[in-house]
């Protein structure tokens, strides 16, 4: 298991860990980095040199083979390139991983931070030609040139770097270049981001929103830019200040090497794909692919989706109540003579558009594997079919009047749950009074109970139960049983046979069950009735018969500190709402002197 250290968030945002878990790490793919120079002694690069994966390097500024700082350089010369290399391919377990941490690398120092002149474009083009002769598969460049160009020049043809980038893409290299940091205005990209058939990269925050500074398209000739986005705000990277330090940095410079590293993984997984298909797969699998625009382009990269590009399917049902028949449709963009389906419940099919019957509730991962001219491609869809069969039950109970009630709230859930919201109301007959609420047997390890609404006057409450995401129970597992107890006092003067309800209420809140994939209401809800147990007036020992033992029981209670009658009604033979000597006299008269029987109720 890789410990990504500070790089965890930026890799997870574009689903790189999924690719790593599939065994893709950039091995056998060559990534060329065109930048300012590199702190080659940093620990994040040590493995690359030890394993012989730094294939070549050249300083196009001074014309030598050293891309680290030289005496004529400013001390900051190596800073930017160090960031970029570590983000795309750094390797130090517990500190940093780039997407392509096992790739081969070609290092090019093309930028001179002491000045901004057109010769740097010449260096850039020369580096492009050089890495092409060395077999580069992917180029990452977080550089841009605008000082001697106008917006009218951003047509993919005028700037020499743009023309060269377009040529490189046509020759079979996946070129990734930063959009620039001149946003939020439109038409603010810089060369060579305006090139044809490359991946121009924008900068998003950790929550996937575009950075204000990220440059926007379109190109002057109307093409959408950027193509894709990745994290460029507080991106974790190696620090050029020492061989062991790390920091964060921001800008489209930092988002671009993430995309380039991801492109290396896709090339490793799909070696028969031409570069145009690698680019198209990354774009089509991104978050905004259905509606690309000049802010996000095709959206935030999703490498997991890109790995399944070419194979695609849909279903006529995605969320429903079990059991369910589901019709699947193959929508693959690549032709195939064979189809291999897995429905997530142990069953499979080899026809193009199968129909499958799911008998049980649950989360079902579905996959389709097709055999194309480029090899086998598998599309995996996690929790693609969600079938529900959930019931919340307020358990009915009965007690003697005046005794407390501990009413269980039971849940049968078909999905793992992180949160449960239960509104309830009770007691139109004034028999009940709520005392407290506690967690149930199944939720003892939850974070606790949050009463998010409470109105004693109308007897309406809403309870929020939340699992412990950092503890032993991040989710309530699928199952059934008690999730909560509600404790009530009952009216001591109520009569046997009287009852009150405990029900849900949807006035302000509704019952909500939250799983990792959706929030939903249970399919069934069963309210409770709390009843007072029927008793005979004058039968304090609840023997269901009035006899001498009842006189003895009352004498013990009134004069000898014996146990009380099971309810006031049971001991109140005279129906005067109290238990006293008069009740003894009444029972003696009834049993021995022909007196009237106690009233019932």
Portion of the chain with pLDDT greater than 70, in percent: 100
* CATH number of the domain enclosing 75: 3.40.50.200
Residues 47, 15 share a domain: yes
The residues facing 348 across adjacent strands are: 342
Query: Got the DSSP string for 276-287?
Result: HHHHHHHHHTST
Residues 547, 481 share a domain: no
Residues near 574 by Cβ (< 8 Å), separated by ≥ 6? 582, 583, 586, 598
Residues 496, 362 share a domain: no
The residues facing 228 across adjacent strands are: 201
pTM: 0.73
Residue 498 has pLDDT above 90, yes or no: yes
Q: Angle 360-361-366 (CA atoms, 0-180°, nearest 5)?
A: 90
Mean pLDDT of 334-363: 97
Cβ atoms of 488 and 426 closer than 8 Å: yes
Residue 545 has pLDDT above 90, yes or no: yes
Cβ atoms of 354 and 287 closer than 8 Å: no
Mean pLDDT of 49-77: 95
Residue listed under structure tokens 């590199």: 38
392-446 pLDDT per residue, tens: 999 999 999 999 999 999 999 999 999 999 999 998 889 999 999 999 999 999 9
Residue 283 has pLDDT above 80, yes or no: yes
Residue 250 has pLDDT above 80, yes or no: yes
Cβ atoms of 11 and 96 closer than 8 Å: no
- Tell me the residue length of the chain: 601
Mean pLDDT of 513-523: 94
Query: Got the DSSP string for 297-364?
Result: BT-B--HHHHHTTT--EEES-SEEESSEEEEEEE--SS--S-EEEE-SSS-EE-SSS-EEEE-S-EEE
Question: From CA 190, how far away is CA 151, in angstroms rounded?
Answer: 9
Q: Which of 253, 279, 307 is the last residue of a domain?
A: 307
pLDDT of residue 505: 84
Among 388, 353, 361, residue whose Cα is nearest residue 524:
388
- 231: part of which helix (H) or strand (E)? strand 228-231
146-162 pLDDT per residue, tens: 989 999 999 999 999 99
Alpha carbons within 13 A on the beta-carbon side of 530: 32
Residue 470 has pLDDT above 90, yes or no: no
Residues 72, 129 share a domain: yes
Instruction: Write phi, then psi, for 54 (nearest 5 degrees).
Output: -90, 100
What SS3 string covers 18-32?
HHHHCCCCCCCCEEE
pLDDT of residue 115: 83
Cβ atoms of 274 and 174 closer than 8 Å: no
Structure token digits, residue 280:
């198209």
Q: Which of 246, 277, 307 is the last residue of a domain?
A: 307
* CATH number of the domain enclosing 546: 1.10.1330.10
Structure token digits, residue 58:
């050249």
Residue 448 has pLDDT above 90, yes or no: no
Structural domain range at position 378:
313-387
* CATH number of the domain enclosing 476: 2.60.40.680
Structure token digits, residue 354:
């199968």
Residues 126, 138 share a domain: yes
336-346 pLDDT per residue, tens: 999 999 999 99
499-508 pLDDT per residue, tens: 999 999 877 7
**For the purposes of burial, counting CB atoms within 10 Å of the CB of 192, is it exposed (0-12), middle (13-18) or buried (19 or more)?**
buried
Cβ atoms of 1 and 203 closer than 8 Å: no
In the three-class reduction of DSSP (H, G, I as helix; E, B as strand; rest coil), residue 7 is classed as helix
pLDDT of residue 147: 87
Instruction: Write phi, then psi, for 4 (nearest 5 degrees).
Output: -75, -10
Question: From CA 17, how far away is CA 479, in angstroms rounded?
Answer: 30
In the three-class reduction of DSSP (H, G, I as helix; E, B as strand; rest coil), residue 124 is classed as helix
Question: From CA 428, how far away is CA 426, in angstroms rounded?
Answer: 6
pLDDT band at 54 (very low <50, low <70, confident <90, very high): very high
Residues 242, 124 share a domain: yes
The residues facing 363 across adjacent strands are: 386
pLDDT of residue 472: 76
Residue listed under structure tokens 């709390």: 530
Sheet with 348-349: strands ordered across: 319-321, 375-388, 362-372, 339-342, 348-349
Cβ atoms of 26 and 100 closer than 8 Å: yes
* CATH number of the domain enclosing 377: 2.60.40.10
Residues 413, 335 share a domain: no
Alpha carbons within 13 A on the beta-carbon side of 557: 22
Structure token digits, residue 105:
């690398």
Residues 594, 447 share a domain: no
Residues 344, 234 share a domain: no
Residues 507, 444 share a domain: yes
Residue 140 has pLDDT above 90, yes or no: yes
| Averaged confidence pLDDT in the chain | 96
pLDDT of residue 508: 79
**Could you count the other beta carbons within 10 Å of the beta carbon of residue 269?**
20
**226: preceding bond cis by omega (within 30 degrees):** yes
pLDDT of residue 601: 82
Q: Which of 484, 505, 532 is the last residue of a domain?
A: 532
Question: From CA 74, how far away is CA 72, in angstroms rounded?
Answer: 7
Pairing verdict, β 174-178 and 519-520: unpaired
pLDDT band at 532 (very low <50, low <70, confident <90, very high): very high
Q: Quick one: how far is CA 30 from the chain centroid? A: 32
89-120 pLDDT per residue, tens: 999 999 999 999 999 999 999 999 888 888 99
Residue listed under structure tokens 């699928």: 478
Domain count across the chain: 4
Cβ atoms of 529 and 394 closer than 8 Å: no
Mean pLDDT of 384-391: 97
Residues 203, 124 share a domain: yes
Question: From CA 573, how far away is CA 423, in angstroms rounded?
Answer: 41
For 345: left if phi > 0, alpha if psi spans -120 to 50, otherwise beta; the answer is alpha
Residues 132, 80 share a domain: yes
């Amino acid at each position: 298991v890789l410990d990504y250290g500070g790089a965890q968030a930026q890799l997870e945002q574009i689903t790189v860990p999924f690719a790593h878990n599939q065994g893709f790490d950039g091995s056998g793919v060559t990534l060329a980095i065109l930048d300012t120079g590199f702190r080659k002694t940093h620990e994040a690069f040590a493995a690359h040199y030890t394993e012989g994966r730094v294939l070549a390097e050249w300083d196009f500024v001074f014309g030598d083979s050293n891309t680290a700082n030289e005496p004529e350089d400013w001390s900051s010369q190596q800073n930017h390139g160090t960031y970029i290399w570590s983000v795309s391919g750094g390797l130090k377990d517990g500190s940093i991983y780039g997407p392509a941490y096992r790739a081969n690398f070609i290092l090019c120092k093309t930028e001179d931070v002491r000045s901004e002149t057109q010769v740097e474009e010449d260096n850039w083009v020369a580096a492009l030609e050089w890495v092409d002769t060395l077999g580069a598969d992917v180029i990452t460049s977080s550089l841009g040139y605008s000082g001697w160009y106008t917006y009218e020049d951003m047509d993919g043809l005028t700037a020499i770097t743009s023309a060269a980038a377009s040529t490189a893409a046509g020759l079979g290299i996946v070129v990734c270049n930063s959009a620039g940091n001149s946003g939020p205005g439109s038409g603010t990209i810089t060369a060579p981001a305006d090139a044809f058939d490359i991946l121009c990269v924008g900068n998003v925050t950790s929550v996937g929103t575009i950075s204000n500074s990220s440059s926007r398209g379109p190109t002057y000739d109307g093409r959408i830019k950027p193509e894709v986005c990745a994290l460029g705000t507080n991106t974790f990277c190696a620090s050029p200040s020492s061989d062991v330090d790390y920091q964060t940095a921001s800008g489209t410079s930092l988002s671009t090497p993430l995309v380039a590293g991801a492109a290396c993984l896709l090339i490793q997984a799909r070696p028969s794909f031409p570069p145009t298909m690698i680019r198209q797969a990354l774009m089509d699998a991104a978050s905004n692919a259905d509606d690309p625009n000049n802010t996000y382009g095709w959206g935030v990269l999703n490498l997991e989706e890109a790995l399944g590009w070419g194979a695609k399917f849909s279903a006529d049902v995605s969320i429903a109540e079990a059991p369910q028949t589901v019709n699947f449709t193959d929508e693959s963009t690549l032709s195939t003579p064979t189809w291999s389906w897995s429905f997530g419940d142990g069953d499979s099919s080899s026809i193009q558009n199968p129909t499958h019957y799911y008998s049980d509730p649950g989360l079902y991962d579905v996959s389709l594997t097709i055999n194309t001219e480029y090899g086998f491609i598998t599309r995996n869809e996690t929790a693609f079919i969600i079938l529900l069969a959930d019931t919340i039950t307020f358990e009915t109970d009965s007690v003697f009047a005046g005794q407390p009630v501990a009413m269980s709230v039971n849940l049968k859930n078909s999905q793992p749950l992180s949160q449960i919201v239960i509104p309830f109301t009770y007691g139109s007959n004034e028999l009940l009074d709520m005392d407290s609420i506690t967690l149930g047997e199944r939720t003892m390890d939850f974070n606790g109970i949050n009463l998010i609404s409470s109105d004693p006057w109308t007897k309406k409450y809403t309870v929020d139960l939340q699992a412990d995401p950092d503890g032993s129970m991040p989710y309530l597992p699928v199952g059934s049983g008690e999730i909560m107890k509600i404790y009530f006092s009952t009216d001591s003067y109520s009569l046997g046979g009287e009852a009150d309800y405990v029900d849900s209420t949807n006035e302000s809140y509704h019952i909500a069950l939250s799983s990792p994939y959706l929030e939903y209401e249970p399919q069934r809800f069963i309210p409770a009735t709390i009843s007072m147990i029927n008793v005979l007036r004058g039968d304090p020992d609840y023997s269901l018969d009035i006899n001498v033992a009842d006189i003895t029981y009352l004498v013990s209670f009134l004069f000898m500190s014996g146990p009380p009658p099971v309810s006031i009604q049971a001991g109140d033979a005279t129906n005067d709402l109290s238990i006293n000597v008069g009740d003894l006299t009444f029972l003696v008269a009834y049993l021995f002197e022909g007196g009237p029987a106690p009233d019932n109720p």
